[in-house]
Structure formats: C-alpha cells, structure tokens
Amino acid sequence: MFDFKWIFVTCAVCLAVLVGSAQYNQALAVQTAEQMTCDQAKAFYQRNGYIYKIVGGVPTRIQRGGSILDAGAVRCTGRTRNQMTYSVPTRDRRRCTVSTYCTG
C-alpha cells in the first residue's frame, strides 16, 4: 500500500524550503543604506518611508518617523516634545540622518 502521508510531509517540507529561499533571496536583492550615498539614502527614505540597513548580517527594513528632507513637517507637541533623528551608515558617511521622529 502506498503511503500518502509521507508524500504530503515531503511536499510540505519542500514548499517551506522554497518559500524560505525566495524570501531570503529577496532580502539579499534589496539595496541597503550601506550601498548608497547619504543623499541617495535620504531620497530613498523620503520616497518610500523606510530604508534597509544591515543588522546582524541581514538586510533589515527600518521605518522610524518622517523623512529628514520633510523635517519641517514633523511637529512634536504635548507628551512627545522631544524631536529625535535616526541615522544609518552609508558609503560616504558613518552616520547619515535619514529621518526624524518624536519621543516622550
């Protein structure tokens, strides 16, 4: 008698590996801040509202506040009085400020 359970488990594992590989390859294909100049990183963050940065060897999506190029639009009031900035390393700068946000 043929064991369909074994085929189902094998197919499920193969599918999981393929999906995982596709996500990993997609992560490798993104352009990170470290590959951009500071001006390119600022423009990318302004256009997309996020940027990728290498964290622990893996490209990680960073989304914190509004674009530094639109810093005048960020108004911190009430409990969120402190305006902070977020920086990433780029090809031409160790710290390139790409966004601004409010903290309490």
From 46, 42, 53, 38, select the one nearest 91 (Cα to Cα): 38
Question: Exposed (0-12), middle (13-18) or buried (19+): which is 69, by Cβ within 10 Å?
Answer: middle
pTM here? 0.67
- Give the N- to C-terminal CA distance of the chain in Å, as an integer: 67
**Cβ–Cβ < 8 Å for 51, 37:** no
Kindly report, residue by residue over 36-82, the tens digit of the pLDDT.
999 999 999 999 999 999 999 999 999 988 888 886 777 788 776 78
**Cβ–Cβ < 8 Å for 39, 47:** no
